[in-house]
Amino acid sequence: MAGQVQGKVALVTGAASGIGRQVALLLAKEGALVVVSDVSDVGGQETVQLIKAAGAEATFVRCDVSQPQEIEKLLDTVVATYGKLDCAVNNAGIAGASAPTADYPLESWNKVLAINLTAPWLCMKYEIPHMLKQGKGAIVNMASILGTTSFATSSAYVAAKHGLIGATKTAALEYSRQGIRIN
């Protein structure tokens, strides 16, 4: 029996470990051709090997999602390799520093927002045009319970995840009538 995404091309960022790795493995199990992406070459290659050991196909593409040009290159590589992009899971993220708001380091604030908010937005910016050409696609942006509530000493993470939920809802409204589901 074919899986739910049999023959689909799926991209997963932050797929070298944790939730991203598990998502990549599940997509592969369901029949997707998986592009594994992360800043960790070792972890990314391990995820690819786990997928291949299970009899599925995967490719690793290193990408630092804090760098817009690397995201654009990642999407170009996905389409050049497989001819399309059917689904994307924008999962890469970091926790950042832990400090009260007045003591929170600006450098950490900027890094957390760059990776947890700007990067998924940029991923959508480059994923959506490919999906529009196909007339369909699906994007999942990983948020957190902290995108709907707050937590002391995590101001940047909470702000980024709240923003990501808002950006995701906006993109979903903009592209749902064009065949792209964004959650």
Structure tokens at 57: 């196909």
Distance, in Å, from the CA atom of 98 to the CA atom of 44, rounded to the nearest integer, reads 27
Token readout for 16 is: 């070298």
Catalytically annotated residue among 82, 104, 126, 157: 157
b/e for 77-114, b at 16 or more Cβ within 10 A?
bbbeebeebbbbbbbbbbebbebeeeebeeebbebbbb
Q: Could you confirm whether 157 is annotated as catalytic?
A: yes
Q: How many helices (H) and strands (E) does the chain have?
A: 6, 6
Encoded amino acid at 56, one letter: A
Give the separation between CA 136 and CA 58, rounded to whole angstroms: 22
- The residues that are catalytic are 157
